[in-house]
């Protein structure tokens, strides 16, 4: 009886020590708040001035959620979009530029190019 009581006490003392060693995935409250803001779709708070863009931005990703809070990636940076009317404009699977409309008669098939002489 006495040995089993000591064993139970040893297990009870070891459990909190093991929990402290594992820790949590996000250690600071600031990191947790940042993740909560990102989940709500709030823009990131930056203290630096935005860089001047020298190239045309490219859509590098798009996630369409069922609740209407979509995320668009511009040059690898997530940008939350909450406007459901913008969804067709931002979806990269949609063709955005149809190009010039040519009449069918103006398109001609060219003969194959001659083979180069050896």
**86 in any annotated domain:** yes
One domain, residues 30 and 62: no
Could you say which DSSP state residue 86 is in? G
Residue 14: domain span: 1-40
**70 in any annotated domain:** yes
One domain, residues 31 and 63: no
**116 in any annotated domain:** no
Task: Say whether pLDDT at 79 is over 60.
Answer: yes
Convert the pLDDT of each residue in 25-78 to its tens digit.
666 888 888 888 888 888 777 666 666 666 777 778 888 888 877 888 888 888
**CA-to-CA distance for 78 and 35, rounded, in angstroms?**
13
**CA-to-CA distance for 4 and 11, rounded, in angstroms?**
11
One domain, residues 69 and 35: no
Domains: count for the chain: 2
Tokens describing residue 37: 């803001």
**CA-to-CA distance for 89 and 62, rounded, in angstroms?**
11
> What percentage of the chain exceeds 90 in pLDDT?
0
Rg (CA), the chain: 30
Give yes or no for a contact between 41 and 47, defined as CB atoms under 8 angstroms apart.
no
pLDDT at site 106: 58
Task: Say whether pLDDT at 87 is over 70.
Answer: no
């Amino acid at each position: 009886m006495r040995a089993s009581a000591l064993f139970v006490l040893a297990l009870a003392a070891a459990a909190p020590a093991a929990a402290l060693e594992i820790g949590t995935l996000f250690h600071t409250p600031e990191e947790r708040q940042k993740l909560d803001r990102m989940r709500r779709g709030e823009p990131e708070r930056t203290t630096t001035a935005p860089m001047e863009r020298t190239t045309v931005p490219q859509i590098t990703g798009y996630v369409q959620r069922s609740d209407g809070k979509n995320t668009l990636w511009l040059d690898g940076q997530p940008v939350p979009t909450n406007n459901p009317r913008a969804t067709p404009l931002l979806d990269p699977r949609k063709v955005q530029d149809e190009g010039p409309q040519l009449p069918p008669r103006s398109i001609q098939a060219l003969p194959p190019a001659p083979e180069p002489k050896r």
